[in-house]
Amino acid sequence: MNNKFINTVYTNKALILIWILFTSVEPFQFYAVIPYHPYKIITFLVTIYFLTVIITKKVKFKIDPFVLVILIQILFSIVTIAIHYFSIKEFLIEDGTIYFNLLLQLIVTLILYIFVKNFF
């Protein structure tokens, strides 16, 4: 096979996966319209695929301003969970899920950014 063809197929597959990832999360909300839409599973599987590609290709990346901001937000989310857990008596596990969801969204955003920056 032609290398150009293989690269085109790989690029198209990656773009389709990015599109699926974006349409499975906010603000598109197809999961709100389609009953039992497996948006969490889709997001998880696509993110694991991107992470696997990043690890197997041994991608090295520089910490640019976007990565720095995302890393600061990730650290801030972790610290916020700990502060609220230890300082607010009424803090429930359900309250922590808000911060945990934000933390996961930031991690997925970082993985997607690294993938796109290195392979496109």
For residue 21, CA distances in Å to 5, 15, 40, 73, 113 come to 24, 10, 10, 21, 13
Domain count, the chain: 1
Tell me what the mean pLDDT of segment 40-67 comes to. 88
Tell me what the mean pLDDT of segment 89-101 comes to. 75
Whether 30 shows a pLDDT value over 80: the answer reads no
The whole domain housing 96 covers 3-119
| Backbone torsions φ then ψ of 13, nearest 5 degrees | -65, -45
Does the N-terminal peptide bond of residue 38 adopt cis geometry, omega within 30 degrees of 0? Answer: no
How far is the C-alpha of 4 from the C-alpha of 8, rounded, in Å?
A: 6
Can you give the pLDDT at residue 31? 63
Rounded to 10°, the helix 39-56/3-23 angle is 140
- Whether the pTM exceeds 0.95: the reply is no
Can you give the pLDDT at residue 74? 92
